[in-house]
Every structure is written in C-alpha cells, then in structure tokens.
Amino acid sequence: MAASTQLVRDKVTAGMEIPPFPYKREFIDPEELWKNAVSLDLVRVEVITLPKDMNSWRSIPRGFEWKFQGETVAFVTTEPCYSMVNKLVDYFSEEARMHASRKDRMSPYDYYMTHYPEILTQAQQYQSVARTKGDDRPLKHWLREAVYLNGKGLECTTFKIAVTKALFRYFGSKVVLDPSAGWGDRCLGAAAAGVTIYHGVDPNPRLRKAYDEMIGFIHAHNPELQYSIVSEDFLKVELTPGSYDTIFTSPPFFDFEIYSDDPKQSVHGRGTIDKWTNEFFYPYLRKAWDALATGGYFIIYMSDTKAGKYASNMHQFVTKDLKGNFLGIIALTDEEKSYGYPIWCWRK
C-alpha cells in the first residue's frame, strides 16, 4: 500500500473499527451455481442487427467490422447470467481480484479500507430500501455492493463463465489451452461445457490457492476431466506443438490492470507498449499458435483501451506473420445491445 494511502487509512480508522472486507464467498452457494452452470444455457448465439447508437461498440479498431464469417454473430448474455452462474468464480478468486488494481487507481480492498465511513453509510441506505421490499440480506452483502457501486471502475474485470461455456460448445472444443488463466472463469466455463482437457497458465502467485480449490472442486464433480493451471510466465512454459484444438484466452491489456507486483508479470521490465508488444505479446501469440493443432481455433478476447491501442497489431501479426485464417470478430453483448466487446477468431 502506498504511503499516502496508508496515511488516509490511519485517519479513517482512528477511533473506528473496520470489519474485514466483505467478500462474496460468504454469500455464494457453489453447488447451486455449479448445477446452474452445467444445466442452464443462459447465453444465446445469434445473428444480430447492430444498434443505431454505436458509442458503446467502439472497442474494435477503425477499419474492422463486427463480422464473423460474413455475418454479425453475437454471444448474447441474458439477465440471470451473473446471479445464477457467473459469480461462481468469485467464490474462489475474489480475494486476489480485490487486491489487484486498474492503472493509476487503488485496489478495491484499499478503497474499502480508506473509505469505510461513506461505504458504511451507503450500505445502510441500500439495506434499508431492500428491507422495505422484503429483502433481509445482511449488512455485509450491502457493504460489498457499496464497494462496487461507490468505487465504480476500480475492480479488475472477469470474463463470463456462461459465455465461455457457450463459446466452447459453439466451436466444439475438447482440448483447450488458456495462456492467461486470469481469475479462473474460463476454467470453470470449460468444465461446464464438458471440455475434456484444459491447461491454463498464469503468473499471479496470489491465485495459486484459488486455482487449487477450483480444480479440486471441478474434479470432485467430474473426476475424468484433465485440468491444471500452472503458476508461471507463459513464455517459460514448455508446450507440445500442435496439441490443442482450441486456444482461448484474454491476454493482459499491457498495464491497464495490475494484478500483482511479481516479476513474472508481463509488464515487469517492459515499461513501454512497444517494448511490451515486441518482447512479450508477439512471442506470447507465437508460442500459443505453435501449440495449436492444424484446423484448430485461435480465439482472443481483447479490446483497445485508452491507455493503449494494440488490437490492430495483434490482428496483423496473427494473420500475416503466423498465417492465421481470420474468421472475424464475434460480438459479446447483452439483450439490449448496450455494449459490444470483441472476440477475435482465427483458424489454423
């Protein structure tokens, strides 16, 4: 924690006892959510008409279209996705995620510790309104809601278990490599989809316990699945060429999110986007591509951010340097089409 943040925390905590961070794990029933993840299909694959207002669809570079094999294909998430399935990942990895931060911002954990009085006030207001509607959830639940709503934009993003399941079903994936396993949502989604082999890699040491618990949970429900996640720099992991039918991942967006201060993180020693791209991202893409079988699918969830533009370079590298057959961009959206995020797809 930075010295200035510690100073603020000291002032806030003077004379006030701050309860432990209100992690969602206490309010999650993993068995119920897992049953939903396996049995329910909450994401629709549709050919859509793009909305007239495209302000929230500007996540692909100019010159590219929302087209996959000639059609505007979308994975459409439905309203129950989060509450019935996607929040399962927080049962395992939320603690690590709450200690991560977005660029130039404090982590949600530090925000809670330094802004507890206003978070408490807001949580009490939420709880009061909820009780008038017969919702008797405890204050801890509303404290967590207040952290999210008051600290809007602080939390590092997760992917969606339900979308991962739909994607692997759509592509018929059975043997998957995920070079950036992240919070574990793609691992859980793979298991829900019946993917036989899932190998993940991620350098964040804070996630080791979460991964072990997650894989233990998956194997307890389906012992035949072959799942593992290695805590290592992907560039240092040994892989068998041509051994996966699908590569699906969401690489780090340069320094948009800082997951830990571990030297294995991709931005360590690569302080500029050019250095990061040439020394990490291109070798990362090439290594993953080499592990893909001929005829396999290479799928990347990545958007440009205000901090960096690199999706176009990624497309050029995979298409021209790696000779990937570009299938197009699948849109990830909701039923209102209020946003559009790109899933880039190639075939080897």
pTM of the model: 0.90
Q: Between 288 and 56, where is the model more confident?
A: 288
What share of the chain has pLDDT > 90, as a percent?
76
Neighbours of 77 (CB within 10 A): 21
Domains of the chain, earliest start first: 3-14+22-27+108-150 (no CATH), 40-88+157-347 (3.40.50.150)
CA 230 to mean position of chain CA atoms: 17
297 in Cβ contact with 245 (< 8 Å): yes
pLDDT at res. 261: 58
pLDDT in tens, 13-23: 555 789 999 99
Q: What is the pLDDT of residue 260?
A: 45
Q: At what angle do helices 30-39 and 208-221 cross, to 10 degrees?
A: 60
Considering the chain, what is the average pLDDT of its residues?
90
- pLDDT 10s digits, 34-88: 999 999 999 999 999 999 999 889 899 999 999 999 999 999 999 999 999 999 9
The confidence band for 4, taking pLDDT boundaries of 50, 70 and 90, is very low
Confidence of residue 1 (pLDDT cuts 50, 70, 90): very low
Concatenate the DSSP letters of all residues of 46-74 into one string.
EE-PPPS--GGG--S-TT--S-BTTB-EE
Q: How far is CA 181 from CA 176, 211, 227, 280, 302, in A?
A: 11, 9, 12, 16, 14
Q: Which two tokens stand for residue 343?
A: 């899933």
Specify the pLDDT at position 101.
Answer: 78
